[in-house]
Structure 1
Amino acid sequence: MSISIRQNEASALRLTAVAAGHELALDMPAPQGEGPDPHDYFDTALGGCKAMTVLLYARRKEYPLETVEVKVERDASRERAGVYGLSVTLTLHGNLDDAQRQDLLSIADRCPIHKLMTQTEVEVTTRLG
C-alpha cells in the first residue's frame, strides 16, 4: 500500500493525502490552519480500528451489538519526553449482557492498530525522490 501526500498551495500548510483512492485533508490546528492534523489521523486510526474490530467480532460471535461509538482523547503534554497518551472510551449499543460487554472491551485492545502502536517496533526510512 502506498499513500501519496501533496502540498495544495506553495505557501500553505494544507496538504492532501491519497490513500486507497480516497482523498484526506491534512492541515495544522488553529491558529496555523483549520485541521485535522497528522496527529488526528494517528488517533483516528486507533479509534477506527477498535470500532471495526469490535463490530466484526460481535458479528462473528452473534452478539446483539447494534452500534459502537468510540471516543479517543489525546494527552500530548509529555510527547517531547517520549510519552503520547491516548484514552479510548467505547460505548456499546445493544442488548448485551455483562460478559459480552467485557469480551468486546477485551477484544478492542487486540485490534491491529493497538498492537502496532504498543507491541511493534516501527522502522521508518526517509529518502529523497
Structure 2
Amino acid sequence: MTQPEPGTVVVTDAGSGRYTQHVGTATHEFLADEPASAGGDDAGPTPYDLLLAALGTCTAMTVRMYADRKGIPLVRTEVRLRHDRVHARDCERCETETGMLSRIIREISFLGDLDSAQRAKLAEIAEKCPVHRTLSHEIVIETHAV
C-alpha cells in the first residue's frame, strides 16, 4: 500500500482477522479491530475507541496549547471518555426529542498548581477543541463508491 497524502486516512482489510483493519496515514500505521466478544481478534482499538481517542487527544492538546500560551502552570491533563446511547427524551440539552442519541461523557482532570479560575478557563477552552466542534455540529459525509 502506498502512503496516503497528508490529511488522508486509508483503511483496508488487514487480512489477518475477520474484522481487523489496517489504518494508514501519511506518517503512521496501526490496526483497528473488534473485541473477541464481537467476533474480532482484538488486534487494535475499536472504531468507537478511535472516535473517543480523537476527541480526547484534541481536548488535551487544545488545553495544553492554551495553558502554554497563557503561562498557566498545567502539569498534565487526563481526559476520560465513554460512549453510550440514551433515549432522546432523557436528554435535557438536546434538540432531538424522539429515538436514541449517541452520548459521549468526557471527564477532564487538570494536574498542577491551578486556582479555581484557571481550572474553569481550561474547562471552557476544552469545549473549543476542533474535534469537539466537529462532533457537535452537523456533519455531512459524502460517500463515493469507485
Asked if 1:101 corresponds to 2:119, the answer is yes
Identity fraction in percent: 33
Q: Secondary structure at the match of 1:83?
A: strand
Structure 2: segments with no counterpart, 5+ residues: 1-6, 89-98
Structure 1: segments with no counterpart, 5+ residues: none
Q: Secondary structure at the match of 1:46?
A: helix
Aligned residues: 127
Asked if 1:127 corresponds to 2:136, the answer is no
Distance 1:77-1:13 versus aligned 2 partners, 3 A rule: farther
Asked if 1:27 corresponds to 2:33, the answer is yes
The amino acid of 2:12's aligned partner reads R
TM-score, scaled to structure 1: 0.89
Q: Secondary structure at the match of 1:75?
A: strand
Query: How far apart, in 2, do the equivalents of 1:72 and 1:10 lie?
Result: 29
Query: Is the 8 Å Cα contact of residues 86 and 100 (structure 2) preserved in structure 1?
Result: no
Which consecutive segments of 4 or more residues in structure 1 shift more than 2 A?
76-79
TM-score, scaled to structure 2: 0.79
The amino acid of 1:97's aligned partner reads D
Which of 9, 12, 24 is matched with 1:6 structurally? 12
1:70-124 alpha-carbon deviations (Å, 9 max, x no partner): 1001113559x441111111111110011000000010011111110112x2221
Asked if 1:40 corresponds to 2:49, the answer is yes
Match of 1:15 in 2: 21
Matches within 5 A, 1:69-88: 69-76=78-85, 81-88=99-106
1:4-47 alpha-carbon deviations (Å, 9 max, x no partner): 11111176210111123211211112321214111111111111
Distance 1:10-1:94 versus aligned 2 partners, 3 A rule: closer
Query: How far apart, in 1, do the equivalents of 2:49 and 2:15 lie?
Result: 21
